[in-house]
Amino acid sequence: MTKINIKKELETKSDSLILGLFEDELNYYEQVNPELDKKIQLAVKRKKFSTKKYSYYTTQITNSAYESITVINLGKKTDMDMETLRVSMSIAVKEVNKQKLDSFTTNITDILREIKKLSDADIGLSIAEGIILSSYKFDKYLKTKNHSLKEVSLQWNDKDTILKKAMTQGIIISEATNLTRDLVNEPSNVVNPSYIEKICRELAKKNSKLKIKVLGKKELQAKKMNGILSVSNGGNESPRLIILEYNNNPRQNKTAIVGKGVTFDTGGINLKPEAGLIDMKMDMGGAAAIIGTMKAVCELDLKQNIIGVIPTCENMISGTSYKPGDIITMYNGSTVEIHNTDAEGRMILADAITYADKDLKASTIIDIATLTGACMVALGYEASGLISKDENLISNLFSAGERSKDRVWPLPFYDEYQNKMDGDLSDYINLSREGNGKLAGAITAGVFLSKFVKNANWAHIDIAGPAYIPTEKSYNPKYGTGAGTRLLVYYFLNN
Ligand code: BES
Ligand code: ZN
Ligand code: ZN
């Protein structure tokens, strides 16, 4: 883990020096260090460094205490926000790692303190996130490991109490996100339903405020949770419904967060095509986000009641798989005719949502899932889809997304959509008839889920795009990003 220190002055023992610069003040170092300034101006002239935000330039000066100096363009002073800080830290971490150096010190914190655009708390939170999220690596299966930065010293010439507290929060949130990333990146021969159970049990053991309950196959059968049972039928792993209960405020209502935990999605009898099949180990991204969120919630000691609910199984193809045309009586008593076995996420979520509503009596339910390719078509990798009928929930989740930049975008949920999942042989079908589930696919999936909420305020988040990305994007590595974890934690921090 990268260690973060706070120092009144720049740390001269660091290997590298990272300096910030605003695009409207490229000659900022003219007074303090004319030699450095000259180098910067020459680099601008030679187009090695520019007035563009996040442009950076690595150089050296005579008698320097450091092995290298990197200048990062932070953009305009007036545009400064938390994301600028996260991204500029990701540039610093990567540049220092590229040079195989172990530590850096930076004045960026101190520059920001002086311009007073961000609160000390926002600086602490986002700088820690930028450093810890960018330092993440998934190289456990590689013989040759990549270089990793060990220590960062931040310059902060003031009282550091608020900064320190926020930094601790940022570290907790980022490590929780890194756990979510690990779970998504691990292959499905490691992360299967029993592994998910093991991780949850370990989490509950470490945190005395967290209580765990696991419904195994027998209990699911006893409760007639046939949505989860049917999807799991084709595989050898037995399904589970895992409940992680965190009660830390007797005067408050309960929020249940429900995450799809399909540890591998073959599509079942409606087998998926070859392209993209390898990525389907990520279909437990919702469950991973719940596990990361619960870890952070415990460590942040939030004064709330939050219950993680994880239905987990595999969607496999075999002689015992559930089939198109099967009619399944769900946990809430409604019947569903299967029109596509690849629309399995909604089947397991439906029972889990009923459980959160009926058994747990949660007043708010937020489900999170890698639910539809249609949502990826709509929003790409840049935002998760958000569906709810509750304006407050939409607005609070939207704000949490904007602040964390683990973003969500609301999709319409018009009355006209609400009968698209009605069946003729059963109460519901699991695939909309319009365009074979492809027309408004993310929304009709949401319509299906909404039929299983009776009392709670409910929101659905489709993370199919952002959860797993093909190329790295600043502090998000390629593959598992941990999407959903920071979104939910920021949501709880503000509520
Ligand atoms: N797990 C997939 C959705 C998915 C696709 C997530 C790509 C991440 C990347 C889900 O179970 C699924 O297969 N959905 C179908 C629904 C369709 C049959 C209505 C889809 O999106 O095609
Ligand atoms: Zn599927
Ligand atoms: Zn799936």
Q: For 72-109, how does the pLDDT look when each residue is reduced to its tens digit (9 = 90+)?
A: 999 999 999 999 999 999 999 999 999 999 999 999 99
Active site residues: 272, 346
Residue 265 in contact with ligand 1 by CB distance below 6 A: yes
Structure tokens at 365: 């339910």
- How far is it, in rounded angstroms, from Cα 207 to Cα 172? 14
Work out the percent of the chain whose per-residue pLDDT is above 90.
Answer: 99
Taking CA atoms, 381 is separated from 217, 224, 329, 366, in Å, by 35, 37, 35, 21
Q: What is the pLDDT of residue 495?
A: 85
Q: What pTM does this model have?
A: 0.98
> What atom of ligand 1 comes closest to residue 445's alpha carbon?
19
Q: Give the mean pLDDT of 13-24.
A: 97
Query: Mean pLDDT across the stretch 320-342?
Result: 98
DSSP states along 87-105: HHHHHHHHHHHHTT-SEEE
**Of residues 254, 268, 255, 260, the one with CA closest to residue 241:** 260
- pLDDT tens figures, 202-240: 999 999 999 999 999 999 999 999 999 999 999 999 999
Question: Given the CA of residue 467, which atom of ligand 1 is nearest to it?
Answer: 8
| DSSP per-residue codes, 237-298 | SPPEEEEEEEE--TTS-EEEEEE-EEEEE--TTSPPPSTTGGGGGGGGHHHHHHHHHHHHHH
What average pLDDT does this structure show over 456-485?
A: 98
Q: Is the CB of 263 under 6 A from ligand 1?
A: no
For residue 450, report the distance from its CA to the centre of ligand 1, in Å.
18
Q: Coil, helix or strand for 334?
A: coil
Q: What tokens does 147 get?
A: 């270089």
* Beta carbon of 462 within 6 Å of any ligand 1 atom: no
**Under 8 Å between Cβ of 332 and 303:** no
Q: How many degrees, rounded to 5, is the angle at CA 191 between CA 190 and CA 192?
A: 105
Q: Tell me the average pLDDT across 407-431.
A: 98
- The letter for the amino acid at 421 is M
Q: What are the CB-based long-range contacts (under 8 Å, 24+) for 185-190?
A: 185/138, 185/479, 185/480, 186/281, 187/281, 188/263, 188/264, 188/280, 188/281, 188/314
Q: What is the average pLDDT value for the chain, to the nearest integer?
A: 98
Q: Is residue 483 in contact with ligand 1, taking CB distance under 6 Å? A: no
Q: What is the pLDDT of residue 1?
A: 87
Residue nearest to atom 3 of ligand 1 (CA): 372
- For 306-332, what is the mean pLDDT? 98
Residue with tokens 């496999």: 316
CA distance 382 to 360: 33
- 225 in contact with ligand 1, CB cutoff 6 A: no
Q: What is the mean pLDDT of residues 14-40?
A: 96
Alpha carbon of 57 to ligand 3 centroid (Å): 43
Place of tokens 């600028």: 84
Residue nearest to atom 13 of ligand 1 (CA): 342
Q: Work out which ligand 1 atom sits closest to the CA atom of 373.
A: 21
Which element (helix H / strand E) includes 7?
strand 3-7
Measured in Å, residue 78 CA sits from the centre of ligand 1 at 42
In whole angstroms, how far apart are CA 466 and each of 145, 394, 470?
A: 26, 18, 10
> Which of 269, 372, 379 has most ligand 1 atoms within 8 Å of CB, for mutation?
372
Summarize the confidence of residues 20-48 as an average pLDDT. 96
Ligand 1 atom with the smallest distance to the CA of 279 is 9
Contact 420, 332 (CB under 8 A): no
Q: Is the pLDDT of residue 132 over 90?
A: yes
342 lines ligand 1 (CB under 6 A): yes
Neighbour tally for 196: CB within 10 Å: 26
* Pocket lining: 446 vs ligand 1, CB cutoff 6 Å: no
Residue 385, ligand 1, Cβ within 6 A: no
Nearest atom in ligand 1 to 272's CA: 13
Give yes or no for a contact between 176 and 207, defined as CB atoms under 8 angstroms apart: no
- Averaged over 234-254, what is the pLDDT? 97
- 46 pLDDT band, cuts 50/70/90, is very high
346 pLDDT exceeds 90? yes
Cα(417) to ligand 3 centroid in Å equals: 22
